[in-house]
Structure 1
Amino acid sequence: MSVALIDLDGTLIDSGPVIFNAARHALALAGLPEPADMRPFVGPPLPIGMQTVLGVPPERVDAVIADYRAHQEAHLGDTPVYEGIVEACTELRQRGWTLAVATSKFEVIARRTIDVLGLAPYFDAIAGGDEVSAEKPVVIARVLERLPAEAAGAAPIMVGDRCYDMEGAAAHGLRSVFAAWGYGPREEGAAADVVAERPQDLVRVLTELAGA
């Protein structure tokens, strides 16, 4: 059996606009300035992104995250699924693949997003961040534990658009696919085994990598 672990933001869904609007809202409530470039905010664990991308002081991170999540949850349905993702997931399932979501997004919000957007039927397991950790190696460990029994012994492949996805895969000895349509700069795909340019390429790339 073949298994793919797929990132959520910037890979399955184009969550940038919802994420950016939630960040602007939270920063405004906190009286903090908006950074010139928010794109790097999509991908890293939220507490890290708050500090390194948005410039939130460490002592204010928890309060800003609370406002950010409240705004984000109110707009989950505004997030588009990337064109070609539903078709790719459908074909992979038809070919017998086990699919799972591994995201640094807070797991409660990730599950709600997946449900609202109608993606839940494609995935056998979902794992995200929590109050303890949202680091990608930790998230991948969680989702591996939740895979169905029939996936035991498989060699999962991680698909994501940021360096965190490649690093998380490497930490577990997994191969990885860089999703070039997402929010990560091209150079972050250098550590991946393969680059997929479009969601429409995902079935071919995963099938070839699984058979390599």
Structure 2
Amino acid sequence: MRLVLFDCDGTLVDSGALIVAAAQDAFAEFGQPAPDEPTLRAAIGLSVAQCLEFWRPDLPVADQAAIGRAFGRHYWKHRTAGIHAEPLFPGILALLDRLAAQPDTLLGIVTGNSRRGLDAILAHHELAERFVTLQTACRHPSKPHPAMVLEALAETGARAEDTVVIGDTSYDVLMARAAGTLPVGVAWGNHPAERLVEAGAAHVVHAATDLHPILGLA
């Protein structure tokens, strides 16, 4: 049995604009300058606490925590208003449909998003039934810690050597390697291809169709 684990934000869906807007509003609420957009995007994939540490390591921990809570409020404000769309990246739906039709393949998600946020994304795109394991930052240490992947292995009974982790950041690649799984980077997300290679990705792809041969799809 093969297990294919996907990151969500930046891999399945293009949620960068929503996350950036929420972060900018959170910093503004506290009268703090927000980092520039490339810096904000570079932390996507980490849990909120680690994002704040990455974005503004100069701030006291208590201030980081307060801005992190504000980020959550603004995230849901923007999401509810529907101002920033979170479309699936090109070719992702067809890829998931083909993988879900494979009798020897299980699908899962390992994401720095909250379970509430992940559930909303899956419901919006009507994807939930395709995944048998959902691992989020609510229950685990932040990436690149391998806990999310290890729990997905435990839940499904899959072996690490039969598991592929697909993500758009170096955090995904490092997490996959730490868990003993195959790390595959996608270059359409938040980290450039060269950073994925430096982190140790076994493959880096530039389109969803490039994943087909890696995953054994003719």
**TM-score of the alignment, normalized to the shorter chain, above 0.5:** yes
- TM-score by structure 2 length? 0.85
Summarize the alignment of residues 39-78 of structure 1 with structure 2, pairs less than 5 Å apart.
39-55=41-57, 57=59, 58-76=61-79, 78=85
Quote the Cα distance in structure 1 between the aligned partners of 2:70 and 2:195. 30
Quote the Cα distance in structure 2 between the aligned partners of 1:90 and 1:29. 42
The change in CA–CA distance for 1:168 and 1:66 in structure 2 (over 3 A counts) is same
Q: Are the aligned partners of 1:43 and 1:162 in contact in 2 as well (CA < 8 Å)?
A: yes
In structure 2, what residue type is equivalent to 1:26?
Answer: A
Quote the Cα distance in structure 1 between the aligned partners of 2:171 and 2:183. 11
Q: Where does residue 92 of structure 1 map in the other structure?
A: 99
Q: Where does residue 146 of structure 1 map in the other structure?
A: 155
Quote the Cα distance in structure 1 between the aligned partners of 2:148 and 2:154. 10
Q: Where does residue 179 of structure 1 map in the other structure?
A: 186
Cα RMSD for the two superposed structures = 2.1
Helix, strand or coil at the partner of 1:88 = helix
Point out where structure 1 has 5 or more consecutive residues left out of the alignment. Answer: none
In structure 2, what residue type is equivalent to 1:173?
Answer: G
Quote how far apart the aligned CAs of 1:12 are: 0.4
Quote how far apart the aligned CAs of 1:112 are: 2.4
Q: Where does residue 196 of structure 1 map in the other structure?
A: 205
Quote the Cα distance in structure 2 between the aligned partners of 1:90 and 1:52. 36
Quote how far apart the aligned CAs of 1:131 are: 6.8
Quote how far apart the aligned CAs of 1:18 are: 0.5
The change in CA–CA distance for 1:177 and 1:152 in structure 2 (over 3 A counts) is closer
Q: Where does residue 113 of structure 1 map in the other structure?
A: 121
Quote the Cα distance in structure 2 between the aligned partners of 1:84 and 1:120. 17
Quote how far apart the aligned CAs of 1:174 are: 0.7
Q: Where does residue 177 of structure 2 map in the other structure?
A: 170
Q: Where does residue 102 of structure 1 map in the other structure?
A: 110
Q: Are the aligned partners of 1:196 and 1:205 in contact in 2 as well (CA < 8 Å)?
A: no
Q: Where does residue 24 of structure 1 map in the other structure?
A: 24
Work out the number of aligned pairs and report it.
206
Quote how far apart the aligned CAs of 1:153 are: 7.8
The change in CA–CA distance for 1:12 and 1:132 in structure 2 (over 3 A counts) is closer
Point out where structure 2 has 5 or more consecutive residues left out of the alignment. Answer: none
- TM-score by structure 1 length? 0.88
Q: Are the aligned partners of 2:45 and 2:143 in contact in 1 as well (CA < 8 Å)?
A: no
Q: Are the aligned partners of 2:160 and 2:180 in contact in 1 as well (CA < 8 Å)?
A: no
Q: Are the aligned partners of 2:143 and 2:172 in contact in 1 as well (CA < 8 Å)?
A: no
Q: Are the aligned partners of 1:161 and 1:184 in contact in 2 as well (CA < 8 Å)?
A: yes
The change in CA–CA distance for 1:13 and 1:144 in structure 2 (over 3 A counts) is same
Quote the Cα distance in structure 2 between the aligned partners of 1:196 and 1:73. 31
